[in-house]
Amino acid sequence: MHLNPYGRDAVLLAADLANDPPSGRRDLVDRCRDAGLVVDATAEDDLERTRDLLDRWVCIVDAPGPAERAALTNDLLAEFCGHPRLTDHADDGYHLHFRDADLPVGRVLCSLVAMGTALHLAGRGMHRLGRCAVEGCDRVFADVSRTGRQRYCSTACANRDAVRRHRSREPSHER
């Protein structure tokens, strides 16, 4: 996965893992690979590291305002990102890494999500993380839409809410 200037793939992967936590290391590695991440190495604590990261990432989503959101993101950057370096490790072109080489996947995720989230918030807007507006759905999302007005985790939830709002406008038959 190459971090694009807006960190798109990294924040989408973070939201996906936060909404459906990986069931095990195998699942974690598969889903990272599916998302385009080159997995060089794995370690015993990959899953634990990922869970800790996601807990902290969800706090960024739930931050009450941009200053808090920035501070929490800065904490992740400070902890997990090294100096930038150019690499061609996967033979698919030179790109930037913000971490040391040959780290296990759990640790790579930390650096990727930290930098991806920072790029996403700085590039698209500090408001572009949120929780689904449907009552009873607590899934989180990273808003990569053109307009930046995403309110739902999915089109399924958007449709469900549209139907509900439509019904509530219909005259009641009980009267």
Contacting residues toward Zn ion, per CB under 5 A: 132, 134, 137, 139, 153, 157
Residue with smaller CB distance to Zn ion, 48 or 87: 87
Q: Side chain identity at 48, as an amino acid letter?
A: E
Alpha carbons 63 and 140: distance in angstroms, whole number: 12
Alpha carbons 128 and 72: distance in angstroms, whole number: 15
How far apart are CB 174 and Zn ion at their closest, in Å?
29
How far apart are CB 127 and Zn ion at their closest, in Å?
18
Alpha carbons 110 and 49: distance in angstroms, whole number: 8
How far apart are CB 132 and Zn ion at their closest, in Å?
3
Would you say 98 and 81 are in contact if contact means Cβ atoms under 8 Å apart?
yes
- 134: tokens are 């449907």
How far apart are CB 67 and Zn ion at their closest, in Å?
27
Residue with smaller CB distance to Zn ion, 59 or 96: 96
Provide DSSP, 68-136: HHHHHHHHHHHHH----EEE-TTSS--EEESS-SS-BHHHHHHHHHHHHHHHHHHHH-TT-EEE-SSTT
Residue with smaller CB distance to Zn ion, 25 or 99: 99
How far apart are CB 2 and Zn ion at their closest, in Å?
6
Residue with smaller CB distance to Zn ion, 129 or 153: 153
